[in-house]
Amino acid sequence: MEACRDRLWRHEWKHEIGPSDLIALRQRLRAVAFCDPHASDGTYRIRSLYFDNGEDRALREKLDGVSRREKFRIRYYDGDPSLIHLEKKSKAGGLGCKQVVSLTASRAQDVVDGRTEWMAGSEDALIRELYVKMTTEGLRPKTIVDYVREPFVFGPGNVRVTLDYDIRTGLGCTDFLNPDCVTVPAGGASIILEVKWDAFLPDIIRDAIQLPGRHACAFSKYAQCRIYG
């Protein structure tokens, strides 16, 4: 497939796992892979703000299993707004790619508050694309998604394995830069194993993530966090 602008299409697997699986995988991955150096003490907390239109197109396409789809989100890490990313995640079957551009906290707040005029003249194509979709398709901030991530990396195959848990929803709150914005557990959200790689998945990683009775799934944190509306 063609490059997704600054990113290549990558293979992606997701598995819903349980607490005992988490413990086992954590130990296996520590033995064969490396903890992502960006993670403090092996984990970091992610806060994302997802966008959707008035008809919940992104949500419905996910629930309906549409093969080719996209979603926009803004996110930052460990409660630190000095590094904020606007991201567009595209999916095509079992492949995905992500386009990313940095935003200042003030510009991110502008987007949240609907002050979008500046986006039309941005030098970055991704910001202009979001502006067009906000003005013509009614794309708007929809809900906050919080969770903890344990990330592991492995050089051959450019593999990234993550363990995500404590998934929480902001319900109707979209003020994602406000540390006092209340979030609640997203129903009975599972622990999620995600595996991403480029051309090949090395056997040592494939063996490490094997779990009896677990199969690839199409879990969506955004869809899970819309459980209450």
Residue 148 · residue 192 · CB < 8 Å: no
Strand residue runs (E) in 93-158? 95-103, 140-154
Could you count the other beta carbons within 10 Å of the beta carbon of residue 83? 14
Domain that holds residue 102: 10-224
Decide if 1 is inside a domain: no
What is the total count of domains within the chain? Answer: 1
Question: The domain spanning residue 104 has which CATH number?
Answer: 3.20.100.30
Residue 125 · residue 5 · CB < 8 Å: yes
Decide if 2 is inside a domain: no
Per-residue pLDDT in tens (0 to 9) along the chain, 229 residues: 444 655 689 999 999 999 999 999 999 999 999 999 989 889 999 999 999 999 999 999 999 989 999 999 999 999 999 999 999 999 998 899 999 999 999 999 999 999 999 999 999 999 999 999 999 999 999 999 999 999 999 999 999 999 999 999 998 889 999 988 989 999 887 899 999 999 999 999 999 999 987 777 888 999 999 988 7
Decide if 3 is inside a domain: no
Decide if 205 is inside a domain: yes
Decide if 229 is inside a domain: no
Paired sense of beta strands 184-185 and 34-35, if any: unpaired
Residue 44 · residue 38 · CB < 8 Å: yes
User: pTM for this structure?
Assistant: 0.93
Rounded to whole angstroms, the Cα distance separating 105 from 144 reads 16
Decide if 185 is inside a domain: yes
Torsion sign, CA atoms 33, 36, 40, 43: negative
Decide if 69 is inside a domain: yes
Decide if 166 is inside a domain: yes
